[in-house]
């Protein structure tokens, strides 16, 4: 299957805005719900199961997770807390359409469609709507998720599960590290992040000059930094802190294919 053989590929969630009545208060509250993705490309190469290729020019597809078949979901109905992979498909005539599939390798193609090309993936969250995201070529900027809340992480490498934050096809995660030290006086707050339990490690630190004057006589000094970490194992990274006084929080901002 051909991946990344495209020109000027763009994909984004399609947001629908409206109002609903809150059942508790009776007040109208705004909401954003999305179940569609819009994909465009100047051209993209597709391939059938036998290795034959076909070029699709000027791709412009809106794919609806609540629909079925071409420009919809390949089989079944949508499920919450599920990654849906995005494909461009075409028939013998070269007409390009989109397709959602829970499969990252073998989508079920509608009748008459032979060719496919992988575009990316989007997460259908627990409230049963797609996250907001924007993809340019192989780079994705997505609605922020938090696979690791602020916690006293161990001082030895610890696995961080990104399965609800990046798709299985991502090769790197764009993360935001928040480090927090809860000790007074001068202290170096160190956090480490890497693709495996053996590194290589990227260190982020901040010199804290506290006076133990915070709440309860303890300082709370925080810093935030961004990293891109390659994924040696799909949907996993590793992290640890220098001492038991250091805490760490990780947010995922996007990913790369």
Q: What is the pLDDT of residue 213?
A: 44
Q: What is the pLDDT of residue 163?
A: 98
Residue 45, both tokens: 């190469």
Residue 91, both tokens: 């028939």
Give 117's pLDDT tier (boundaries 50, 70, 90).
very high
CA distance 126 to 22: 19
Which helix (H) or strand (E) segment is 29 a member of? strand 28-47
* Site of tokens 């399609």: 14
Give 30's pLDDT tier (boundaries 50, 70, 90).
low
Q: pLDDT (tens digit, 9 = 90+) per residue, 209-257?
A: 444 444 444 445 556 678 899 999 999 999 998 877 677 889 999 999 9
What is the residue extent of each domain of the chain? 6-137, 141-256
CATH architecture type of domain 141-256:
Sandwich (2.60)
CA distance 186 to 188: 7
**Structural contact between residues 80 and 125, judged by C-beta atoms closer than 8 angstroms:** yes
Q: What is the largest CA-CA distance in the chain?
A: 73
Q: pLDDT (tens digit, 9 = 90+) per residue, 123-153?
A: 999 989 899 899 998 999 998 999 998 888 8
Q: What is the pTM of this model?
A: 0.84
């Amino acid at each position: 299957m051909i991946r990344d053989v495209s020109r000027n590929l763009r994909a984004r969630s399609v947001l629908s805005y409206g109002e609903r009545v809150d059942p508790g208060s009776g007040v109208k509250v705004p909401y954003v719900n999305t179940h569609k993705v819009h994909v465009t490309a100047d051209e993209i190469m597709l391939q059938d199961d036998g290795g034959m290729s076909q070029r699709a020019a000027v791709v412009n597809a809106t794919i609806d997770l609540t629909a079925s078949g071409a420009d919809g979901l390949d089989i079944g109905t949508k499920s919450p807390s599920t990654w849906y992979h995005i494909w461009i498909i075409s028939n013998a005539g070269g007409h390009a359409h989109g397709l959602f599939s829970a499969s990252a390798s073998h989508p079920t193609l509608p009748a008459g469609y032979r060719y496919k090309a992988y575009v990316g993936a989007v997460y259908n969250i627990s409230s049963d709507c797609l996250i907001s995201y924007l993809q340019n070529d192989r780079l994705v900027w997505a609605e922020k998720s938090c696979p690791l809340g602020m916690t006293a992480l161990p001082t030895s490498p610890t696995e961080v599960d990104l399965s609800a934050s990046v798709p299985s096809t991502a090769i790197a995660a764009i993360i935001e590290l928040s480090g927090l030290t809860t000790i007074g006086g001068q202290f170096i707050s160190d956090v480490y992040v890497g693709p495996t339990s053996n590194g290589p490690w990227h260190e982020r630190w901040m010199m804290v000059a506290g006076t133990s004057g915070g709440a309860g006589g303890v300082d709370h000094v925080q810093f935030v930094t961004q990293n891109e970490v390659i994924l040696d194992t799909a949907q996993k990274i590793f992290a640890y802190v220098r001492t038991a006084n250091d805490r760490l929080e990780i947010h995922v901002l996007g990913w790369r294919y």
